[in-house]
């Protein structure tokens, strides 16, 4: 798998596997890798070719397409609500250091804030970078396919998390998802909130598909596709 690297600014890089994005954020003293890819298994090595700062890993959540290089790290940051997904659903391993909603992490003249946004998974987080006015969101905010099927995913929680981001709206100019177009406009948050309501109210037509052995419904809401359980 070829992983291309794009320099966003002097302290930020995007890794692109051709459908899965993850990011390297550096400060003046430390650096953090946000997720570690799916098919990439040497993300730490790639990151350390870009910075010689002490490097940590933080997972936005524990779906398998975000854990590809986790084995390179002795430990990694993750929200504790995600541990059932990590250890039970994904059958993965590793030592977790918890991050909590509202927690701040200073990389050295670059402070990051953790925002807990459950719905796509129970422990999904976004990371707010006020210095560069960027919001890194994992999977919940994107213009591609948003996985919302399976026991760990919940549409009501998802919509509450989208509304939670209203409190931060004046603090970021771009949203950086792990799938789909990167970056996207903050306006997509409002579009997804409205579209998810239409999906839940049965206003959006769907098609059925087989994904990972599950029959699901795919709702094309225009701004994104929501993939939900087939309840019939």
Q: Which domain holds residue 219?
A: 4-229
Q: Which pLDDT score, from 0 to 100, does residue 1 have?
A: 62
89: domain CATH number? 3.60.15.10
What is the number of structural domains in the chain? 1
Q: What is the pLDDT of residue 222?
A: 97
**72: pLDDT strictly greater than 70:** yes
State pLDDT tens for residues 133-184: 999 999 999 999 999 999 899 999 999 999 999 999 999 999 999 999 999 9
HEC string of the chain equals CCCEEEEEECCEEEEECCCCEEEEEECCCCEEEECCCCCCCCHHHHHHCCCCCCEEEECCCCCHHHCCCHHHCCEEEECHHHHHHHHHHCCCCCEEEECCCCCEEECCCCEEEEEECCCCCCCCEEEEECCCCEEEEECCCCCCEEEECCCCCCHHHHHHHHHHHHHHHHHCCEEEECCCCCCECCHHHHHHHHHHHHHHCCCCCEEEEEECCEEEEEEECCCCEEEEECCC
pLDDT at 6: 97
What are the Cα distances from residue 62, in Å, to 5, 138, 140?
22, 10, 13
| pLDDT tens-digit series, residues 78-92 | 999 999 999 999 999
* Cα gap 78→81, rounded to integer Å: 8
User: Closest Cα to residue 153, out of 193, 196, 119, 117?
Assistant: 119
**Average pLDDT rounded to a whole number, residues 46-54:** 98
What is the tens place of the pLDDT at every residue in 178-226? Answer: 999 999 999 999 999 999 999 999 999 999 999 988 899 999 999 999 9
Which pTM was predicted? 0.97
Q: 60-79 b/e with 16+ CB inside 10 Å = b? A: bbbbebbbbbbebbeebbbb
Residue 232 has pLDDT above 70, yes or no: no
Which residue bears the tokens 């899965």?
20
Percent of the chain scoring above 90 in pLDDT: 96
Per-residue confidence (pLDDT) for residue 212, from 0 to 100: 85
């Amino acid at each position: 798998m070829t992983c291309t690297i794009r320099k966003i600014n002097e302290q930020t890089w995007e890794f692109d596997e051709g459908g899965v994005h993850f990011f390297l954020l550096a400060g003046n003293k430390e650096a953090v890798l946000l997720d570690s890819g799916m098919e990439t298994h040497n993300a730490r090595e790639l990151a350390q070719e870009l910075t010689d700062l002490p490097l940590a890993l933080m997972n936005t959540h524990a779906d398998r397409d975000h854990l590809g290089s986790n084995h390179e790290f002795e430990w990694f940051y993750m929200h504790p609500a995600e541990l059932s997904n990590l250890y039970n659903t994904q059958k993965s391993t590793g030592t977790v250091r918890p991050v909590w909603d509202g927690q701040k992490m200073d990389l050295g003249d670059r402070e990051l804030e953790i925002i807990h946004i459950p719905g796509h998974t129970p422990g999904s987080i976004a990371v707010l970078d006020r210095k560069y006015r960027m919001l890194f969101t994992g999977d919940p905010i994107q213009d591609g396919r948003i996985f919302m099927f399976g026991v760990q995913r919940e549409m009501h929680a998802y919509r509450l998390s989208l509304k939670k981001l209203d409190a931060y709206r004046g603090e970021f100019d771009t949203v950086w998802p792990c799938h789909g177009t990167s970056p996207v406009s903050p306006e997509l948050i409002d579009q997804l909130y409205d579209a998810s309501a239409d999906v839940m109210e049965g206003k959006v037509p769907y098609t059925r598909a087989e994904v990972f052995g599950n029959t699901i419904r795919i709702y094309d809401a225009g701004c994104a596709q929501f993939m939900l359980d087939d309840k019939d």
